[in-house]
Structure 1
Amino acid sequence: MQDTYIWHQLNIHWQKVVICCFLLSTLFLSEAHAQLTKSENLPNYDNRWLHYGFSIGMHTSSYRVQYNDNFTSSAFDSLHSIMPSNAFGFSLGLIANVRLAEFLDLRVTPEVVFYENRLDYNYLRAGQSVVDEQIVETTFVEFPILFKYKSMRRGNTRMYLIGGVEPGIEATGKKKDQNDEDRLLVSGTNLSVQVGFGLDVYFPLFKFAPEVRFSRGLLNMKNDTENAYGAPIQQLTTNTVTLYLLFE
């Protein structure tokens, strides 16, 4: 499958990436703490009506499952649960920030996001527990439209809250094939609401911000299919928690 190929090509080692992001954040925050006693960096930066940047994100995502009436039918009497589990992913994006007022910005951050979601179908067959794991790998192009509410700047730091909506569309179009009955199929579009918080840190040449954002999907991601994996599910929505490193 195309998404599986992408994942293998990227050869992501999640533990190493998480550790690197943590060390990078610690380095910047330590430097920010040291600069609290120094002169104010980029004093007029937030007075610009428009500025740009880029972001790197690491997230953990999972599905929320709602069963339908088929789950209790005799056709699925051996299926006793469908359990989602968290999986890691990452994103790369751009930032366009528009100043609306002294403490309020409008922010558009288009990004490419690589997801891996997992569902464990737990069966009881011949007195033994059997797990059928479904891994759904997708690549989405997403367009978060966010409002950023900032606190007063203190030295070279400023706290903020952020929230908005995030439409997304799958970037790797998939065609139906004979293996569709052997896997869970999901929709190629999604819409999420997002809330989060972050810390702006002003350096002499740029602004850095670690940001945590929570995302809850509004659309049913279950595709219109009644195969063995889709039939017992009424609704499938997404939950995502992302740590962003933003550079502006």
Structure 2
Amino acid sequence: MKRIFFILSFFITLQGIHAQGFFRDGSKIRNLDNFDKQRWSWGYFLGTNMYDFKFDYKDRTQDILVEKSIGFNVGLIGNLRINNYIDLRLEPGVMFANRNLTFPDIPEDNFREVKSTYVHVPLLVKFSTKRLNNFKPFVVGGVSTSINLSSNEDNPDDNSVGEFRMNTNTYYYEVGFGIDFYLFYFKFTPSIRAIFAINDELKRDVDPNSPYTGNIDKMATRGVFINFTFQ
């Protein structure tokens, strides 16, 4: 990740140095002045994520402990211009995430590592302000779905033999904000987005009284994305 941020910083610095050559007379120019007039535009993104779980319980008990870690995002962008201030965006991508669960009420074998690889497909509406020289803030919101390739939903083994299982399909709503920067050769956009799962993701153990899943009424993902977009 440090290499990725270094490369991003390097390219942005080069763009800034290149653009300064056009400002020697004190005037300001607008990079990519006609970029947002396109009906369709395309791009890709790289970024990081931090996934968490929210648990609802049937009976009050000690909370399941979730240890979060930083994951990686990569994907494509398709942007449809509606007008000067509204865009419709499709951002299919792959998200790699890892969470560790500790069940404090269970004296032994109470740790589960949950590795997830999501094919994530959000449909978003982007609301932008008026462009201010070479940058434009925006907010974004929408819905999404994902396929968890590591869900183990069809695995007949459960927590009784150490397998923590999740449902394959999940649905979310998403909200976020960011800033479009119009550089000399491309548009660069850092953004932050929060996601909240709507449906229950837990695949319960065969035993209805399982100490791992029996008291969980709902388990739902929530998370944060930090993405860097190039168009």
> Residues 48 and 99 of structure 1 are in contact (CA less than 8 Å); yes or no, is this contact kept in structure 2?
yes
- Secondary structure of 2:36's partner? helix
- Secondary structure of 2:201's partner? coil
Residue in 1 that maps onto 2:218: 235
Q: Does 1:114 align with 2:114?
A: no
Residue in 1 that maps onto 2:74: 92
Tell me the amino acid that sits aligned with residue 191 of structure 1: Y
Tell me the amino acid that sits aligned with residue 115 of structure 1: A
Q: CA RMSD in A?
A: 2.4
Residue in 1 that maps onto 2:87: 105
- Secondary structure of 2:78's partner? strand
Residue in 2 that maps onto 1:216: 196
* Pairing partner for 2:129 from 143, 151, 174: 151
Q: Distance in 2 between matches of 1:155 and 1:243?
A: 24
Q: Distance in 2 between matches of 1:29 and 1:196?
A: 23
Tell me the amino acid that sits aligned with residue 98 of structure 1: L
Residue in 1 that maps onto 2:53: 63
1:234 Cα deviation (Å)? 1.1
Tell me the amino acid that sits aligned with residue 111 of structure 1: G
> Residues 106 and 211 of structure 2 are in contact (CA less than 8 Å); yes or no, is this contact kept in structure 1?
no
Tell me the amino acid that sits aligned with residue 86 of structure 1: K
Q: Distance in 2 between matches of 1:100 and 1:60?
A: 31
Q: Distance in 2 between matches of 1:50 and 1:124?
A: 54
Q: Distance in 2 between matches of 1:131 and 1:157?
A: 52
1:84 Cα deviation (Å)? 1.9
Residues 101/204 of structure 1: CA separation in 2 closer, same or farther (3 Å cut): same
Q: Distance in 1 between matches of 2:136 and 2:89?
A: 17
Count of aligned pairs: 219
Unaligned 5+ runs, structure 1: 1-16, 73-79
Q: Distance in 1 between matches of 2:157 and 2:172?
A: 31
Residues 90/136 of structure 1: CA separation in 2 closer, same or farther (3 Å cut): same
Q: Where has structure 1 moved over 6 Å in runs of 4 or more?
A: 31-34
* Pairing partner for 1:190 from 170, 177, 196: 170
Q: Distance in 2 between matches of 1:147 and 1:176?
A: 37
Identity of matched residues, %: 25
Residues 134/166 of structure 1: CA separation in 2 closer, same or farther (3 Å cut): same
Larger helix fraction of residues: 1
1:81 Cα deviation (Å)? 3.7
- Secondary structure of 2:143's partner? strand
Provide, for residues 41-67 of structure 1, a one-character-per-residue CA deviation record: whole Å limited to 9, x for no partner: 110000000010001120111101111
Residue in 2 that maps onto 1:7: none
Alignment of 1:1-248 (within 5 A): 17=1, 19-24=2-7, 26-27=9-10, 38-69=28-59, 80-123=62-105, 132-172=110-150, 174=152, 175-178=154-157, 180-181=159-160, 182-225=162-205, 226=208, 227-248=210-231
Unaligned 5+ runs, structure 2: none
Tell me the amino acid that sits aligned with residue 56 of structure 2: Q
Residues 32/200 of structure 1: CA separation in 2 closer, same or farther (3 Å cut): farther
> Residues 32 and 157 of structure 1 are in contact (CA less than 8 Å); yes or no, is this contact kept in structure 2?
no
Provide, for residues 128-179 of structure 1, a one-character-per-residue CA deviation record: whole Å limited to 9, x for no partner: xx78221111211111000001111111111111110111112357442445
Greater mean alpha carbon deviation, residues 19-28 or residues 43-52: 19-28
> Residues 148 and 161 of structure 1 are in contact (CA less than 8 Å); yes or no, is this contact kept in structure 2?
yes
